[in-house]
Amino acid sequence: MSIPFELLIHPANMLYLFAYMVRDILWLRILTVVAATCLIPYFYFRPEPLMAAIYWNLAFTALNTFWIIRLLLERRPVKLSEEEQQLCGLVFHTMRPREMLKLLKIASWNEAAADECFVERGKPLDRLMVIYSGKACAEVNGKYVTELEPGQFIGSISYVTEDLAPANIISLEPTRYVSWPKSQLREFMKKNPDLHTALKTTLAIDLAKWLQASWARQT
């Protein structure tokens, strides 16, 4: 009994129809691969095999298979280290763990000894920093302006305006902080607009807290 390969055109087109209806790009690619797999024997077992159509479907199948594997790898569950989890809890509440890992790939962990000035007033600030542990303070003309605690950013305004550092930042005790080179961070954010939006939201929240604390000190 011969197999009616000509009937494969119908399930193949139904699969393409379902593929265009799903919202998840992964399922779209999976359904497209299955549909193309159905079409290959349909084109081959015709009285005159349509080899051009077969080759194109093989190419589409290979390309979609590559992206299916890549999407599956990207969607694997990720686990943050204890330090990364704490940093996420302190600052990056709006970011998912995978986004957090992407951001930390271009970051460096730094330490400042007690009474160390690690940001100098009036000089270009080429990094965006956030305190992870310890305490620091902003100092202007020998006077402490404000205290900085874990979870607070350093250089958030300079990141946006490119202004010089408005104050010295001095550690009050051994302080650990995370820093991102601004040029590298901007380039990274251009390629990751969703992450950029999350970072801007985080910086806006930090700035609002800083302004609120400054206003409270003046009243």
Residues 173-185 have a mean pLDDT of 90
Whether residue 104 is found in the same domain as residue 125: yes
Residue 218 above 70 pLDDT? no
Residue 9 pLDDT > 50: yes
Mean of pLDDT over the chain: 82
pLDDT recorded at residue 66: 94
Phi-psi region of 122 (alpha: psi -120 to 50; beta: other; left: phi over 0): left
- Between residues 30 and 147, which one has the greater pLDDT? 30
- Burial environment of residue 116 by CB neighbours within 10 A (0 to 12, 13 to 18, 19 or more): middle
Given a cut of 80, whether residue 62 has pLDDT beyond it is yes
Looking at the fold, whether 205 and 108 belong to one and the same domain comes out as yes
Structural domain containing residue 61: 5-74
Mean pLDDT of 167-177: 90
Using the predicted structure, report yes or no on whether residue 3 has a pLDDT greater than 60: no
- Is the model's pLDDT at 216 over the cut of 60? no
Please indicate whether residue 110 or residue 194 has the higher confidence score (pLDDT).
Answer: 110
pLDDT of residue 100: 81
Q: What is the pLDDT of residue 217?
A: 54
Q: What is the CATH number of the domain that holds 136?
A: 2.60.120.10
The reported pTM is 0.63
Asked if residue 176 and residue 147 are part of one domain, the reply reads yes
Look at residue 2 and tell me whether its pLDDT is greater than 70. Answer: no
Shared-domain flag, residues 53 and 122: no
- 50 and 106 in a single domain? The answer is no
Sign for the pseudo-dihedral over CA of 116, 121, 124, 129 = positive
pLDDT value of residue 110: 92
Total of domains in the chain: 2
Are residues 158 and 120 part of one domain? Answer: yes
What confidence score (pLDDT) does residue 1 get? 37
